[in-house]
Structure 1
């Protein structure tokens, strides 16, 4: 398996379309070809098609499209105050959990359809959408919301958001069992009993392992055929699904620490490093560094050691998470911020350069997510008003 640095060096020509911009200067927008999810390390296709954007939950989009000089509002849709799920954007539609799943037209925010039975963030693969219901998982036609198949996993089962790598299998956590389903029919390829209620949105490590965390304070690695590959214990319960880079898996826990597990010597049970970051409920982002937006600050960490490289004050709002695109890091908090993720002087005591900042009436997040050069984020827009915004 190639190392992360070797892989990213080879990937750079595709991601930046041959651009030789410095870290402080975002590359020209657009690439000649989008990544192929059947061969891409993160199962990426340029869409924000699941929690964490792609199969690795890296929150990084590689299509070279992102607003780096400022944003204008394309549309807004009112949403309830207490929703803590960010939107998913893929295939010209935006999906948002609010009294079930709402599918919005990415062009103008108009509602295309609604599925009240959906209880999890969706996974979008082509023209099919997969999501958990009260007792199982359903596959819907993405343009219309019509069911293609439904699979019951049991009564009163806590089904969490599914994941996939290149559409080969559908990995569905349900209570303490990880199911691998045929994405065309919903039939079970295999299932594996683990320990503790599983978190949704497993991360797939380079197509080789499924990484899934549980409320028992554990991380499991399971091979694509259901064979156990590794198990790790944490001193606290994970707060969000894991993030899988090409060399490691990262988990944020309720003790306010983010943990790094290097996978060079799997199987083993050692946690390689732990760093104070605060609660990162929305997930972690990774590209050149690992980025965690905790309860106090956004931090950039060294992926090998967990050493803090820089931090940036976003306020005390933890219901946001970093999103990466076009060599720019976007994050919410007291405002919507666009930052230089890899400043030339590292570590940098004063934090990264701000490319732009957009303020609203109140806090920004859940989100942002990024698709086709448009940022989607929930923000407080008035004293008691909250909107899902499309910003370009």
Structure 2
């Protein structure tokens, strides 16, 4: 096991509580903390610009970058989503959503899909004009778009709760899969090879993407709030039972599980044969994707969030408002000569 402390390239402190999952594109890290969205130089951590979405108590959602535009939502009472120039932070448009926006958007084929306490909305990515709206539940997690379908984890009323498949062009609901759980509707579905993977309650589910039939269920020992990630025939997901699970995508049988010293509530990043995730034990973990063997560990700080890995660098935030950039254990271009 390698200590990752010596591999820290830089860290950034926002001065606020909380830090979203970073979005990295074109050498810039975009991340939300407190009431601000920050753009940081990916190589140095230097702040390039910031954008304030509201008063101190109003937090922006995690950002998503599409081309030269950053999309971010706001948790103000009526709810808004913003489109900003990724280079300068200049506001391109602002659209009301009717309820606080707590999760990042999904952008596909010129459309921005936003979830909030009222449901799911589709907005034109260029103008912010609404194309359609699906009401009747809460969409607190990021929707996922694949093959012309939007998959959204819907909470709220019992007869509408579960995983919904919605036509991306029209907003027409195709099917609904109900897990029966009354809690934990904040995770984002993952779609791979005709299967939708979803965490809900204390379980991880695999659902047929065409008709919504359940393929399997894998139970853990506590709540599963992390969004699953799929790579090389395994679906990875953490649990509040302090374990990270790697589950066979075909059978739902665990291949391995790794024990941390606190709840694993962060989503997972998989890259170059390694799995990266945060734990409430204040550490970022790097484990072998095939075996679950510990490869590295970093004391990041209070309640480590969901990491992002780009070009051999791990970007991860913490609840106390810090963002760390670490060189991965797998050598990349930035490691030449080291």
What TM-score results when the alignment is normalised by the length of structure 1?
0.71
Confirm or deny that 1:275 pairs with 2:211. Answer: no
* Aligned equivalent of 2:272: 326
Aligned equivalents of 1:361 and 1:209: distance in 2?
37
- 1:33-52 correspondence runs (5 A): none
From the superposition, tell whether residues 116 and 292 of structure 1 become closer, same or farther in structure 2 (CA, over 3 Å): same
Cα 1:81–1:332 shift into 2, 3 Å: farther
Change in 2 beyond 3 A, CA 1:364/1:208: same
- Deviating more after overlay: 141-150 vs 114-123: 114-123
Matched residue pairs, number? 304
Q: What residue is the counterpart of 2:26 in the other structure?
A: 91
Unaligned runs of 5+ in 2: 54-58, 328-338
Bigger relative contact order, structure 1 or 2 (CA pairs below 8 A, ≥6 apart): 1
For residues 340-380 of structure 1, what are the alpha-carbon distances to aligned partners after superposition, in whole Å with 9 as ceiling and x for unaligned?
A: 2124xxxxxxxx333x3133275662132111221011359
User: Contact conserved, 1:97 with 1:121, CA < 8 A, in 2?
Assistant: yes
Shift of 1:315: 2.1
For residues 330-369 of structure 1, the aligned pairs below 5 Å read 330-333=276-279, 334=281, 335-343=283-291, 352-354=292-294, 356-360=295-299, 365-369=304-308
- Cα RMSD of the aligned pairs, angstroms, is 2.6
Q: Output the TM-score relative to the length of structure 2.
A: 0.81
Query: Residue 231 of structure 1 aligns with which residue?
Result: 176
Deviation at 1:74, TM superposition (A): 1.0
Distance in 2 separating the partners of 1:273 and 1:150? 41
Q: Does the 8 A contact of 1:365 with 1:378 survive in 2? A: yes
> Any idea what SS the aligned residue of 1:357 has?
strand
In structure 2, the CA distance between the partners of 1:222 and 1:379, relative to structure 1 (3 Å rule), is: closer
Given candidates 146, 150, 155, the residue that maps to 1:215 is 155
Q: Please state how far the C-alpha of 1:153 moved relative to its aligned partner.
A: 3.0
1:247 counterpart = 2:194: yes
Secondary structure of 2:237's match?
strand
Structure 1: distance between partners of 2:192 and 2:5: 29
Residue in structure 2 matching 1:141, options 81, 85, 94: 85
Say yes or no: does 1:106 pair with 2:50. no
Q: Which residue of 2 aligns with 1:62?
A: none
C-alpha displacement at 1:70, in angstroms?
9.2
Q: 1:292 offset after TM fit, Å?
A: 1.0
Secondary structure of the residue aligned to 1:342 is coil
Question: Which of structure 1's runs of 4+ aligned residues deviate more than 3 A?
Answer: 79-82, 361-364
1:293 pairs, out of 232, 238, 247, with 238
Structure that is richer in strand per residue = 2
Over 3 Å counting, the alpha-carbon distance change for 1:223 and 1:379 in structure 2 is: closer
SS of aligned partner of 2:95: strand
